């Protein structure tokens, strides 16, 4: 879904939830009420939705692997607002077998199964560790299979097959056929994309953590960072992931992960941090700075890391040129954000602006190659 349509769909769903009968919502969805707010379980984590502002919060601080994107939030709202009552058999079926599924299948396949195939093509058994940390259970189908509970009333199965002489490698996501009472086909397709995105993000993080070479760690790195103006509080980070969850750049590019940056700094991965191109992705919007429960001030830490990268010769002159260009784009972006906020305050909301900002971000990230 395009960024502009996503924003519109999200705003529509927010309004519907504000006006919905919460008892009915909870009865159909398996969510629970906490006064006038809702608690819903999604991917093994409980989220509290504060109403009427429709603000999402984690109930427990254990969800550092769960980053709620706008798509996640939209799926949660659509699930809560669903009211389908189709009679079904309770069987597990593929997307193509859902009513109308053939029509959207190729988009669906690209969003979900195809990415899952790529993620586990070298090691189908890798599906187990990742799925277990998402609350999944091992099954005994194909070369690797798991069952995952996405929402209280939505359970899925994922089955992987290795390539052999007769068949190519395959990944199937199977849904209980009553899923149509909770999500429409587009939502199911987006959900498959979110599952694939989580798998590849978690696989990458696990791989990076496993690949740490102890002899390359620099134990002084964190002290050097902390001694610089603006970064004095960064060792307070307790890895909650709030920064990543609220960062607009992380939402667009899953390789940009503020929590992971801090973690690498604390571990002493000097070279990995200072030479990474993601160091230049931050647009200094200060969202993470405002939301961090530990007052880590990540935006300022980023500025410190960039200074260190330049001082220590980690960036080439070409990269310097690109960084200057990006800085100019960031200034324009900040100007647009301020203008958007000001128009909002004056009640003249520009609904296309969030979409425009996203495409500006994307242009910038492309610029850095």
Residues that bind ligand SF4 (CB under 6 A): 237-243, 247-249, 258-259, 262, 282-288, 292-294, 296, 298-299
Contacts of 356 (CB under 8 A, 6+ apart): 336
> Minimal distance in Å, beta carbon 95 to ligand SF4?
34
Residues comprising the chain, all counted: 369
When the beta carbons of 169 and 291 are compared against ligand SF4, the nearer one is 291
> Minimal distance in Å, beta carbon 64 to ligand SF4?
7
Instruction: State whether the Cα torsion 288-290-296-297 is positive or negative.
Output: positive
When the beta carbons of 150 and 364 are compared against ligand SF4, the nearer one is 364
> Minimal distance in Å, beta carbon 5 to ligand SF4?
23
| Helical ranges in the chain per DSSP H | 3-18, 22-29, 70-81, 101-111, 113-120, 126-133, 185-210, 221-226, 242-246, 248-252, 258-267, 270-274, 287-291, 298-311, 317-345, 353-368
| Three-class DSSP category at 235 | helix
When the beta carbons of 117 and 247 are compared against ligand SF4, the nearer one is 247
> Minimal distance in Å, beta carbon 284 to ligand SF4?
5
> Minimal distance in Å, beta carbon 255 to ligand SF4?
13
DSSP 88: -
> Minimal distance in Å, beta carbon 206 to ligand SF4?
18
> Minimal distance in Å, beta carbon 3 to ligand SF4?
16
Is the distance from CB of 84 to CB of 42 less than 8 angstroms?
no
When the beta carbons of 161 and 298 are compared against ligand SF4, the nearer one is 298
Helix 258-267 to helix 298-311 angle (10° resolution) is 60
> Minimal distance in Å, beta carbon 210 to ligand SF4?
21
Query: How many angstroms separate the CA atoms of 220 and 312, rounded?
Result: 15
- Listed residue (357, 355, 351, 352) closest to 335, CA to CA: 357
Residue 197, CA distances (Å) to 101, 156, 174, 191, 252 in order: 21, 16, 17, 10, 12
- Going by their DSSP bridges, the two strands 37-42 and 45-50 should be labelled as antiparallel
When the beta carbons of 91 and 362 are compared against ligand SF4, the nearer one is 362
When the beta carbons of 117 and 245 are compared against ligand SF4, the nearer one is 245
When the beta carbons of 150 and 265 are compared against ligand SF4, the nearer one is 265
When the beta carbons of 240 and 267 are compared against ligand SF4, the nearer one is 240
Q: Is 305 exposed, middle or buried (0-12, 13-18, 19+ CB in 10 A)?
A: buried
């Amino acid at each position: 879904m395009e960024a502009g349509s996503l924003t519109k769909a999200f705003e529509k769903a927010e309004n519907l939830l504000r006006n919905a009968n919460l008892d009915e919502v909870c009865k159909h969805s398996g969510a629970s009420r906490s006064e006038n707010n809702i608690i819903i379980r999604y991917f093994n984590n409980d989220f509290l939705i504060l109403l009427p502002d429709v603000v999402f919060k984690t109930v427990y601080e254990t969800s550092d692997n769960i980053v709620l994107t706008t798509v996640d939030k939209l799926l949660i709202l659509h699930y809560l607002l669903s009211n389908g009552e189709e009679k079904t058999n309770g069987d597990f079926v593929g997307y193509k077998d859902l009513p109308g599924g053939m029509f959207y299948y190729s988009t669906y396949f690209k969003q979900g199964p195809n990415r899952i195939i790529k993620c586990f093509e070298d090691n189908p058994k890798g599906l187990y560790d990742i799925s277990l940390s998402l609350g999944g259970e091992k099954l005994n189908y194909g070369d690797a299979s798991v069952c995952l509970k996405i929402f209280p009333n939505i359970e899925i199965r994922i089955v992987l097959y290795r390539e052999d002489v007769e068949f190519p490698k395959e990944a199937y996501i199977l849904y209980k056929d009553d899923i149509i009472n909770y999500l429409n086909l587009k939502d199911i397709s987006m959900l498959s994309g979110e599952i694939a995105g989580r798998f590849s993000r978690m696989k990458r993080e696990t791989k990076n953590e496993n690949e740490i070479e102890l002899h390359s760690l620099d134990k002084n790195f964190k002290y050097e960072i902390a001694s610089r103006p603006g970064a004095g509080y960064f060792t307070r980070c307790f890895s909650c992931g709030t920064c990543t969850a609220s960062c607009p750049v992380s939402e667009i590019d899953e390789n940009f992960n503020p929590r992971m940056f801090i973690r690498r700094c604390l571990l002493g991965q000097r070279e990995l941090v200072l030479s990474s191109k993601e160091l230049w992705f931050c647009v200094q919007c200060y969202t993470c700075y405002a939301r961090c429960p530990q007052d880590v001030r990540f935006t300022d830490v980023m500025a410190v890391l960039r200074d260190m990268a330049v001082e220590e010769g980690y960036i080439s002159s070409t990269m310097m040129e690109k960084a200057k260009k990006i800085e100019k784009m960031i200034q324009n972006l900040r100007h647009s954000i301020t203008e958007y906020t000001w128009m909002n305050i004056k009640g003249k909301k520009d609904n296309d602006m969030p979409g425009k900002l996203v495409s500006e971000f994307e242009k910038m990230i492309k610029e850095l190659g």
